[in-house]
């Protein structure tokens, strides 16, 4: 229904823009720290904060520093962090066996954070690329990414992460049928309260480059991921994928990347009305940060505007590397 409104001069839109107080009273969408999930990169070692060249201001953290980061995030009111491991190349194999090792880097970090900061939700990544010598999210045979065999491996990975205390599992692999398989396995294993935030509409994007640097997958990747990640030209397909994952047991759904796909976020929220998230990915972060460092844009203003845009597009939350900085600004 279209709003009823008088014509000019009875209607002057500038009346409610003339002061900060009126602008705040009439603002339609609001960003808070509760909307933020902070992705962090972890690596082996102690006392490590290793800069990531292609993501200025972002570091790979050893577990002890990741615990400190979780404590800081909780203090800022950020409800969740998401772990991404930089895996030693020596343990990467074609079979990806390290992915379900209970003592791998991610699983040790889950346990450490939940022991020290139990109130913060820990989200994990469910995909094989950090452990795959081929750099792909799935098992590879004769150059083909295998779907069903990969799903079996992902289920094993999910169960171990749930055993270690993960609150939210984030399947980012885009294999068919993996949500249903994980949900059934989690229920059977007694993990009835572990949530699944599915990367349901993950596009084969050019914006992931810095992330692949951060997890050490850039050099390992053979070929591309277009046979399992979405075609950037497709929109209706995203809705079919969302519906499928919800029917299979996803609690929350994600669109990735974020800013180039705000139209998809809006369509998902309007169509399903479910908890909807977007990932402001590494390339988006790097563009804003890089332009700000060169003085080409106002960094803080651009950061906050970009995050508010996700809320306007219908997102309930955003995975963003800006989370701590944004949360501090939101606290005033």
Residue 222 pLDDT: 80
The reply to whether 243 falls in a domain is yes
Residue 221 pLDDT: 81
SS3 294: coil
The reply to whether 175 falls in a domain is yes
Number of C-alpha atoms within 13 angstroms, CB side, residue 283?
11
Domain residues for the domain of 233 are: 30-330
* Burial group, residue 127, by CB count within 10 angstroms (0-12, 13-18, 19+): buried
Catalytic residue among 92, 202, 269, 311: 202
Which H or E run includes 196?
Answer: strand 195-202
| Residue 202 a catalytic site member | yes
Residue 223 pLDDT: 85
| Residue 18 a catalytic site member | no
The CATH number for 108's domain is: 3.20.20.70
SS3 37: strand
In angstroms, the CA 210 to CA 187 distance is: 36
Which pLDDT tens digits describe the chain residue by residue (332 residues)? 787 889 999 999 999 999 999 999 999 999 999 999 999 999 999 999 999 999 999 999 999 999 999 999 999 999 999 999 999 999 999 999 999 999 999 999 999 999 999 999 999 999 999 999 998 999 999 999 999 999 999 999 999 999 999 999 999 999 999 999 999 999 999 999 999 999 999 999 999 999 988 988 777 788 899 999 999 999 999 999 999 999 999 999 999 999 999 999 999 999 999 999 999 999 999 999 999 999 999 999 999 999 999 999 999 999 999 999 999 999 98
The dihedral sign for the CA sequence 111, 115, 119, 120: negative
Number of domains in the chain: 1
The reply to whether 83 falls in a domain is yes
The reply to whether 12 falls in a domain is no
pTM of the model: 0.95
With beta carbons less than 8 A apart as the criterion, state whether 63 and 42 touch: yes
The alpha carbon of 311 is separated from its chain's Cα centroid by a whole number of angstroms, namely 15
DSSP labels, 274-287: S-EEEEE-HHHHHH
Residue 161 pLDDT: 98
Q: How far apart are the first and last CA of the chain?
A: 37
* Cβ-proximal residues to 163 (8 Å cutoff; 6+ apart), any chain: 102, 189, 191
The reply to whether 21 falls in a domain is no
* Burial group, residue 281, by CB count within 10 angstroms (0-12, 13-18, 19+): buried
SS3 241: helix
The reply to whether 244 falls in a domain is yes
Catalytic residue among 92, 114, 225, 256: 256
The reply to whether 2 falls in a domain is no
In angstroms, the CA 286 to CA 33 distance is: 21
The reply to whether 66 falls in a domain is yes
What token pair was written down for 226? 């277009």
């Amino acid at each position: 229904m279209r709003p009823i409104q008088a014509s000019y001069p009875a209607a002057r839109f500038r009346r409610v823009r003339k002061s900060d107080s009126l602008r705040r009273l009439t603002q339609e969408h609001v960003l808070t720290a509760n909307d933020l999930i902070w992705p962090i990169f972890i690596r082996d070692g102690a006392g490590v904060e290793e800069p990531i060249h292609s993501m200025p201001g972002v570091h790979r953290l050893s577990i002890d520093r990741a615990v400190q980061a979780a404590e800081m995030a909780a203090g800022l009111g950020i409800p969740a962090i998401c772990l991404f491991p930089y895996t030693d190349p020596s343990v990467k194999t074609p079979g990806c066996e390290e992915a379900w090792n209970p003592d791998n880097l991610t699983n040790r970090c889950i346990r450490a954070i939940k022991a020290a900061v139990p109130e913060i939700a820990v989200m994990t990544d469910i995909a094989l690329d950090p452990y795959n010598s081929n750099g792909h999210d799935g098992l590879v045979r004769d150059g083909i990414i295998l779907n069903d065999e990969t799903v079996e491996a992902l289920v094993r990975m999910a169960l171990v992460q749930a055993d270690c205390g993960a609150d939210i599992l984030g399947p980012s692999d885009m294999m068919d049928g993996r949500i249903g398989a994980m949900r059934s396995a989690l229920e059977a294993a007694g993990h009835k309260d572990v949530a699944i935030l599915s990367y349901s509409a993950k596009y084969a994007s050019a914006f992931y480059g810095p992330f692949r640097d951060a997890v050490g997958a850039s050099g390992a990747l053979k070929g591309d991921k277009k046979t399992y990640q979405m075609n950037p030209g497709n929109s209706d397909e995203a809705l079919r994928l969302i519906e499928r994952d919800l029917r299979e047991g996803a609690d929350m759904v994600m669109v990735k990347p974020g800013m180039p796909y705000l139209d998809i976020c809006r369509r998902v929220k309007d169509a399903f009305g479910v908890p909807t998230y977007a990932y402001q990915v590494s390339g988006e972060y790097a563009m804003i940060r890089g332009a700000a460092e060169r003085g080409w844009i106002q960094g803080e203003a651009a950061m906050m505007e970009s995050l508010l845009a996700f809320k306007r597009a219908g997102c309930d939350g955003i995975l963003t590397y800006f989370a701590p900085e944004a949360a501090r600004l939101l606290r005033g």
